[in-house]
Chain A
C-alpha cells in the first residue's frame, strides 16, 4: 500500500491523469459534456444516497478534487442498471467508470469502510471463495450484524417472516450455519484464485508504475 500511495502522490496535482491511468475505463472521464442525462436517468434517488451524481464526480475529477472523490460513498451506490450507459449522448461507460473509481478507492484503502455496498462486496467474496459455494445464510447474517449485535438482532427480527417463509419453501436451510455445502475440489478453487490474484497484482503493479 505504501508503494501505491507514494506513486499516487506523484500524480496528486493531476487527478484526471491519475484516474485515466489507474481506473478501468477512466480515460472516458474527459469526454463528459455535463449534460446531466446520466444522473437524471439514475433510478436510485441519489439525492439522499448519492453525495455527488456521476457528472458531478466527473467534473470533480477534472477539478482535481482527489480527496472528495476517492472518499465519497457516491459511486458505491451504483446499482449497475446501465440506464446511464444506454442514454449517455457521448457513450461514456458510466456504470463501469463508477465501479472503476470505487475499485481504485478500495485499492488505495481510502474507500469508506462501512459503506454497505463495499461491506457486502467484501463479505460476498470471502463467503463465496471460502468453500466455492455461496452460503446464503451466513451471508445475510453477516450483513445483518454489520452494525453490531443489537442492530443485528433487530434486523433479524424484522426479516423473521421472510426467513420462515424461505425455510418452509426449502429455499433456506438452517443447518447451513454449521459448515454448509461446499464444492468438490476446494483446493483447486483456492489455487485458481491464488493464481488469479498473482496475475492481477502484477498487472496492477505494472499500471501503478506507469
Chain B
C-alpha cells in the first residue's frame, strides 16, 4: 500500500464494508487511484460480523479474504481507517473532502503479536460482537482485521493501562501522543458506501428488547452462533447461559411498519431461514425453531431455500406478526398474538426470541455533505442532482451481500466515467 497524492482524478470511497471495498477495488483495478475511508479500525463492515452467508451457508471469511488479497496487491488503493468524512465541497470532477481521522495509538510497526492486549487490564464493550461481550482495551478489532494492527481504546489513554501496553510492546508500535487529525482529500468522484445499521429494536416497545434479556436481534444471534463470538459459537441465552433450544424468530421487526421502517428490509426473511440452520446445527436432535411471519419474502432465486426449511420438521411457521412479548417466571420470553390462519390466539413461551430487525440506512439522519437525494426511508437515490456522488450498497437500498456487490460495481463504473472525463480520456 503506497501513499499517493489525491487529485481530481482520484475516486473517494466512503465506507469500507463489502460495498466500499468492492467499489474501491473495481475502480483501482481499472487503473484509478482510490482513497478508501473507513470509520472503524478495520475493513469488512457488517459482512465480517456474519457467521454465515445465505444461500450456500459459506463463511464470510472466504469472500472477504479474496477482497483483502486484491487490496494488498493493489498499490492504487489508499486505506484510511478510523476516519469519517465531515464535509465535501466542490462539484463534479472537483471535490474536496474534509476527513477527521481518530488516533489508533498504534503505528505501522505493529505485528499483531498481542503483548499489549495481554498487558492491559481494562476491558471495554466489543462492538464487533454487538456489545454482547467485552474485549481488552488494547485489541485487534477481529480475527481477520485489515489492517492487521492493534488499537487502543481511547478510554485507557492517560491511565496506567496505556503505559502498561506501551511497556509491553517490543516493536515500539505504541504511540500515545497520536492526536485526532483533520485531512483534506481531493477527488473527482465520490462513492458513498456507508451501509446500514440494524434498526434500534428498543423502539419496538411491545417486544421489550430493552426489558427482556432473552429477546435479542438477528445480528446478535449471528455473533452467538459464531465461534469467534462471545459464547464461542454455543447458542446460549443471555440471561442465564442456558442452552437455547426452542427459538422464536420474529419477522418484520421494525420493517414494513409505518411506525418504524416503512420499507421491506428484504434480507431478514432469508436471514431467519438461514439461522434455523444454526439451531439445527447446534442442537441436531432437539433444536426447535418457530418463525412468526406476515409473508415470507425469499428474495430472488431463494424460494428453494425456503422450501427446504419448510420441509424441516424442526421448523414451524406461524403466519402472524407477534403483538407483544412478555416474560414468565423462568425468564422465558412469551410471544402473544393471533394466528391469521384460523384466527386463534396463542401465548407461547420460548427459550430465546430473535427479532429479525430491519435495515436502516446509515446515512439516515446524518447530513451527507453535498445535497444528496434520498427516498422516504433515507436510502440514497440515483439522482442527477447528486452530481458525482454515487451511492453504493446498503446506503442505496436494503440489499444482501450479493446485491450490494453488484450495486458497488455499478457505482464504481459511474465514478470511473467521471474521472475519465476529468482526465479527458473519455468524452
On A, residues with C-beta under 8 Å from B are 33-37, 39-41, 45-47, 52-53, 55-56, 86-91
With beta carbons under 8 angstroms apart, the residue of A41, A56, A91 that contacts B259 is A91
Whether A36 pairs with B252 at a CB distance below 8 angstroms is no
Docked-complex contact A41 and B206, CB < 8 angstroms: yes
Least Cβ–Cβ distance between B235 and chain A, in angstroms: 27
Majority SS at the chain A contact face:
loop
Known A41-B206, A55-B340, A89-B257; contact A35-B252, beta-carbon cutoff 8 A: yes
A52 to B344, CA, bound (A): 10
Bound Cα distance A33, B345 (Å): 18
Q: Does B228 count as interface, using CB distance less than 8 angstroms?
A: no
- The B interface is mostly helix, strand or loop, or mixed, namely loop
Tell me the minimal C-beta distance from A18 to chain B in angstroms: 23
Q: Does B256 contact A (CB under 8 A)?
A: yes
Binds A, one of B54-62, B180-188, B320-328: B320-328
Q: 13 interchain pairs (CB within 8 A)?
A: A33-B294, A35-B320, A36-B323, A36-B338, A36-B340, A39-B343, A40-B323, A40-B336, A45-B345, A56-B340, A87-B323, A89-B257, A89-B259
- Chain A proximity mask over B288-325: 1 for CB below 8 Å, otherwise 0: 00000010000000000000000000000001111110
Report how far A79 CA is from B319 CA in the complex, Å. Answer: 26
Pick from A34, A41, A89, A90 the residue with the most CB of B within 10 Å. A89
Determine the residue in chain B with the shortest Cβ distance to A51: B343
Given known A34-B340, A87-B206, contact A41–B323 (CB-CB < 8 A): yes
Total inter-chain residue pairs, C-beta < 8 Å = 63
Taking CB atoms, residues of chain B closer than 8 Å to A90 are: 258
Nearest to B261 among chain A residues (CB) is: A89
Q: How far is the CA of A15 from the CA of B257 in the complex (A)?
A: 27
Among candidates A35, A41, A46, A56, residue contacting B294 with C-beta atoms closer than 8 Å: A35
Docked-complex contact A53 and B338, CB < 8 angstroms: yes
Q: Which residues of A contact B256 (CB under 8 A)?
A: 33, 89
Which one of A37, A56, A88 contacts B343 once the chains associate, using CB atoms below 8 Å? A56
Give chain B's interface residues, CB within 8 Å of chain A: 206, 252, 256-260, 294, 319-324, 336-340, 343-345
Q: 17 extra interchain contacts, Cβ-Cβ under 8 A, other than A47-B345, A53-B343?
A: A33-B294, A35-B252, A35-B321, A35-B340, A36-B320, A36-B338, A36-B339, A39-B338, A39-B343, A40-B322, A40-B324, A45-B345, A46-B345, A87-B259, A87-B323, A90-B258, A91-B258
Whether the Cβ atoms of B323 and A37 lie closer than 8 Å is yes
Closest 7 CB pairs of A and B: A40-B323, A40-B337, A89-B257, A35-B321, A39-B338, A36-B320, A35-B294
Say whether A37 contacts B337, CB under 8 Å. Answer: yes
Q: How far is the CA of A56 from the CA of B294 in the complex (A)?
A: 14
- With both chains docked as a complex, state the minimum distance between the C-beta of B264 and any C-beta of chain A, in angstroms: 11
| Distance, CA A57 to CA B345, complexed state (A) | 16
Instruction: Specify which of A46, A87, A90 lies most central, judged by the most chain B CB atoms within 10 Å of its CB.
Output: A87
A55 to B340: give the CA distance in the assembly, Å.
Answer: 8
Residues of A close to B260: CB separation below 8 A: 89
**How many angstroms between the C-alpha atoms of A89 and B206 in the bound complex?**
13
Query: With A35-B294, A37-B337, A41-B206 given, is the CB distance from A89 to B343 under 8 Å?
Result: no
Question: A60 CA to B349 CA in the complex, in Å?
Answer: 31
**Contacting residue for B321 out of A37, A45, A46, A91, CB 8 A:** A37
Which chain A residue has the least Cβ–Cβ distance from B262? A89
Bound together, the chains give a CA A39 to CA B321 distance in angstroms of 10
Task: Compute how far the CA of A53 lies from the CA of B337 in the bound complex, rounded to whole angstroms.
Answer: 12
Given the contacts A36-B337, A89-B252, A41 and B324 also touching, CB distance less than 8 Å: yes
Question: Given the known A-B contacts A87-B206, A89-B259, are A52 and B321 also in contact in the complex, defined by CB atoms under 8 Å?
Answer: no
* C-alpha spacing A53/B345, complex, angstroms: 10
A45 — which chain B residues lie within 8 A by C-beta? 345
Report the minimal beta-carbon distance from B330 to chain A, rounded to whole angstroms.
23
Which residues of chain A are near B344, meaning CB under 8 Å? 47
**Residue from A33, A40, A86, A87 within 8 A of B320 (CB atoms):** A40
Q: Is the CB of B343 within 8 A of A40?
A: no
User: How many Å from the CB of B350 to the closest CB on chain A?
Assistant: 16
CA–CA, A89 and B255, complex, Å:
9
Find chain A residues with CB under 8 A from B324 CB: 40-41
Q: How far is the CB of B414 from chain A (nearest CB, A)?
A: 35
**B201 CB, min distance to chain A CBs, angstroms:** 15
Which residues of chain A are within 8 angstroms of B321 by Cβ–Cβ distance? 35-37, 40, 89
A37 contacts which chain B residues (CB < 8 A)?
321, 323, 337
Query: How far apart sit A39 and B323, CA to CA, in the bound complex (Å)?
Result: 8
Which of B322, B336, B340 has the most chain A CB within a 10 Å cutoff?
A: B340
Q: Give the CA-CA distance A207 to B421 in the complex, in Å.
A: 62
Distance A206 CA – B343 CA, assembled complex (angstroms): 37
Using Cβ atoms and an 8 Å threshold, which residues of chain B touch A86?
259
